[in-house]
Structure 1
């Protein structure tokens, strides 16, 4: 079974160093620092590097050289995406630009009065869409695993201030269910990733990039059971400080498996268009 630990890699010290460079020297110098850090992770995390190599070689059909090159490119891009996330919590955010295909669909999602869901994935950089979320009249709740959330919560709050959206942390005591239902009852929007699950969680086995893979059943069950409109949205990093945001049409009244299949089609397309922005660093297809 493909297992994700529920935690994002990277220590608090590492985040602190990059935040220091970002705040004092800007995005450019902080990005340049990645060229010193990334080779270390590529060399001293061979398991992750092998997994990425197989992803590019076997799933996307890259040549040996291209697959090896993309391991490095992928890690550099991931670092830049993290820096952009931090930068979006500072005045630097005004320098970022983005195109949005389907913004009106997200506005419509928040105007139904019955709430809605945005399902995204660990590709690109969803948080960079904060500028767009600010323009939505409806409150946004980002649902994420508690371990992933708590790791840098205090650091980010103390260094950069609060996020411009609310976080609902998925906890073992299931208290997040009450918060999710309350948000939807208030006609608000939930944003959640649909491509990761913890060991023991219910899954859907579906075709993804030519082979069966497991996806979290609870995400799509929730969307189907609560009978709220669902959009799939992705924010992909372009050149420099520019992003491309895309939102699907709203799906409603679909069974969980049908909804998941629609989601996977869009994720496949994004991965093929932006292979360097696939940020699942574990064996996604292992069962």
Structure 2
């Protein structure tokens, strides 16, 4: 990033090394502007959102998926949610946007975003063997097969492996190719088949409310706090249709953006109402 140095008009006092007083002052002002306007490290979810008075954030082991989500970086405050084509989402129902790059295609929607977060977590840990998803016809597609150079051939609703057809390795380009295949052939129905039912009192970041269908929807818990009275509050994130940046949702509670555990049969979020019982977590 290049800062523009403004020089005062008229004659200026020349200093050593050929710098004028005006240009040196401009240089320092530009440097300070860059330093304070563009933080080196983006805020994480837990850094930006402090639990309300009387509540304490629930901490998880550093290497856990829950901790990974709590520490996920956010875009600068005030950022709008952008669609895959660069346009702003019409219904801005968020309080923060995850630093979550999109493809320039309408591929990463609600379930895809959840799978991407899960896959990125294992990829960051180099646990290649744990990256695996089921596509819509029930076929299990592990990343480890892509690592060996195998690829899936799709003919209608039938799929098969073609051995040694693609590039081998765990490099980012192979990983992105794998993810784009998953985005194209998985969704809420296939994702739900991989999850296990949970009770609300078992909630932890990484769990989801999911309603499978075409269309269906899924939202993910990304942080959790507990009150002295035992009440649980939590933050929710979603992507949506069309493909858009993942974002943390507003709530209608007194603790907004924190949600409270629903007590009714239906759980209302800004853009979808879920059956409260449709609450799930990853098996591993």
Tell me the TM-score normalized by structure 1: 0.24
- In terms of Rg, which structure is larger? 2
- Between structures 1 and 2, the one with greater helix share: 1
Bigger relative contact order, structure 1 or 2, given CA contacts below 8 A and separation 6+?
1
- Between structures 1 and 2, the one with greater strand share: 2
